[in-house]
Amino acid sequence: MSNFSYQNQTLHAESVAITELVATYDSPLYIYSKAEIETNWYTFNDAFGDHPHLVCFAVKANSNLAVLNVLAKIGSGFDVVSRGELERVLAAGGKADRCVFSGVAKTIDEIERALEVGIRCFNVESSSELDRIEQVASRLNVQAPVSIRVNPDVDAKTHPYISTGLKENKFGVDIDDAVNLYQKANDSEHLNVQGLDCHIGSQITDVSPFLDALDKVLALVSQLQSKGIEIAHLDLGGGIGIKYDDEQTIDIATYVSSVLDKVGDLEIILEPGRAIVGNAGVFVTKVEFLKQNSEHSFAIIDGAMNDLLRPAFYNAYHKVLPVNENTKGIDANWDLVGPICETGDFLAKNRKLSLSEGDFLAFMSAGAYGFTMSSNYNSRPRVAEVMVSNNTHTLVRERETIQDLFNKEYIIND
Ligand code: LLP
């Protein structure tokens, strides 16, 4: 997290003081570091050397146009799961032929649009979806590029809500059923078999489930080859974990080199989201009130679960740093809670901090699944997003206004 550090006892994003950012854009606020996004993408990209590959950023992690634009400019591909994400990528200057389209239930409209703009590949999640893609391609008289997402039945050992590679999960096709589906795709004049896809979960901090899944999909590739079905690329999904605290996680270069040791000449696609943007963003909030009783010390902050859902939803941990390093307030183990009318509205629990009302706090590692999972619950306008590059800062999404909250609503006349 070298792009977020203290300089003269004030937390900075690159070379800009976060105090200056909240003075300019108000609070709460998401702040992204352009340099961190680029560095993280290059860490994946460079690990492949000359081996054919495409690093497709998973747009669901952070779909702000400026973030997508930074990545498009350095040659990133994208993993999209909806028409909305696809249109964002195109609007941000991304190339359709570097996009893979994942997701369990693509609509006819989504398939048509993806074929019209010429996406790189559909990651197909069921037999019915394959039929739907074939029908749309046949009507448009084109060939749809497809991979089948197989479910390798490995335990990613992560939070159950973000584990996707087990038989009990809704994702993908059983590896045993995949051969029939590939046969069907291969026989169709409107489907063009490109690759094989799997994604086993998210925030995975150990490389072994990835390598177990890889062994299983490579066995399937050989089986398909023996039936004359050629697989040109292997898409291994995303899921590489990041450091939220001091946990050990995966070294990307080691992971990629272990993959390359096994895959021969196959082109590799990866779909990292969190590992590219997670540590490239922070969420800054202000302490509104301090409230202590005999049992608990609550700091009520102006950010809430609607702005950063991960703690309430997954009991996720985000490190909290004071924006001014040496402020001296009330020392306690604070629960940092939002103004929303839900007991689950907390952003952190039991944090040893010295706080005063009016202090600013930074929730670290909030660049992935932060803003994208935010909502208007309790009719709270969604917050602004800012991107910093060296010593400059740019508003990359305006704070919503009160009018924005209901400008698409109507009252009935009767
Ligand atoms: N590819 C597919 C097909 C996915 O479903 C996902 C994430 C990714 C790639 C990117 O995974 P990543 O590299 O970011 O781990 N909201 C949760 C995470 C949900 C992940 C869903 N799928 C969180 O805040 O932890």
pLDDT in tens, 215-230: 999 999 999 999 999 9
DSSP element (H, E) containing 140:
helix 127-140
| Domain residue extents for the chain | 4-32+278-406, 34-276
State pTM to two decimals: 0.97
Hey, which residues does 387 pair with through a beta bridge?
Answer: 32, 394
Q: Structurally, what CATH architecture does the domain formed by 4-32+278-406 represent?
A: Beta Barrel (2.40)
Q: Structurally, what CATH architecture does the domain formed by 34-276 represent?
A: Alpha-Beta Barrel (3.20)
The crossing angle, in degrees rounded to 10, of helices 252-263 and 34-47 is 30
Residue 239 near ligand 1, beta carbon < 6 Å: yes
Reference 215, options 171, 248, 173, 259; nearest CA is 259
Hey, which residues does 122 pair with through a beta bridge?
Answer: 101, 146
Least confident window among 171-180, 201-210, 401-410:
171-180
- Confidence bin at 72 (pLDDT 50/70/90): very high
State in Å: Cα 141 to ligand 1 middle: 33
The pLDDT value given to residue 171: 79
Reference 196, options 264, 253, 132, 146; nearest CA is 146
pLDDT in tens, 378-404: 999 999 999 999 999 999 999 999 999
The pLDDT value given to residue 165: 64
Residue 310 near ligand 1, beta carbon < 6 Å: yes
The pLDDT value given to residue 281: 98
DSSP element (H, E) containing 85:
helix 83-91
Q: Which of the residues are catalytic? A: 341
- Confidence bin at 157 (pLDDT 50/70/90): confident
- Confidence bin at 161 (pLDDT 50/70/90): low
State in Å: Cα 135 to ligand 1 middle: 29
pLDDT at 159 over 90: no
Report percent pLDDT > 90 for the chain: 93
Q: Calculate mean pLDDT across residues 349-360.
A: 98
Closest atom of ligand 1 to 272 CA is: 13
**Measured distance CA(174)–CA(411) in Å, rounded:** 48
Residue 271 near ligand 1, beta carbon < 6 Å: yes
DSSP element (H, E) containing 334:
strand 330-337
**Measured distance CA(179)–CA(221) in Å, rounded:** 10
Residue 40 near ligand 1, beta carbon < 6 Å: no
Pocket test for ligand 1, best of 44, 270, 274 (most atoms within 8 A of CB): 274
**Measured distance CA(322)–CA(285) in Å, rounded:** 10
Q: Is the model more confident about 55 or about 247?
A: 55
pLDDT in tens, 45-71: 999 999 999 999 999 999 999 999 999
Q: Calculate mean pLDDT across residues 150-167.
A: 75
pLDDT in tens, 292-327: 998 899 999 999 999 999 999 999 999 999 999 998
Residue 58 near ligand 1, beta carbon < 6 Å: yes
Closest atom of ligand 1 to 238 CA is: 13
**Measured distance CA(150)–CA(174) in Å, rounded:** 6
Residue 369 near ligand 1, beta carbon < 6 Å: yes
- Confidence bin at 176 (pLDDT 50/70/90): confident
The pLDDT value given to residue 2: 78
CB-count burial class (<10 Å; 0-12, 13-18, 19+) for 173: buried
The pLDDT value given to residue 153: 87
Extract the tokens encoding 150. Answer: 């197989």
pLDDT in tens, 264-281: 999 999 999 999 999 999
Reference 273, options 220, 342, 203, 209; nearest CA is 203
Q: DSSP 3-state assignment of 73?
A: helix
Q: Calculate mean pLDDT across residues 159-180.
A: 77
**Measured distance CA(239)–CA(20) in Å, rounded:** 34
Degrees, nearest 5: CA angle 126-128-131: 115
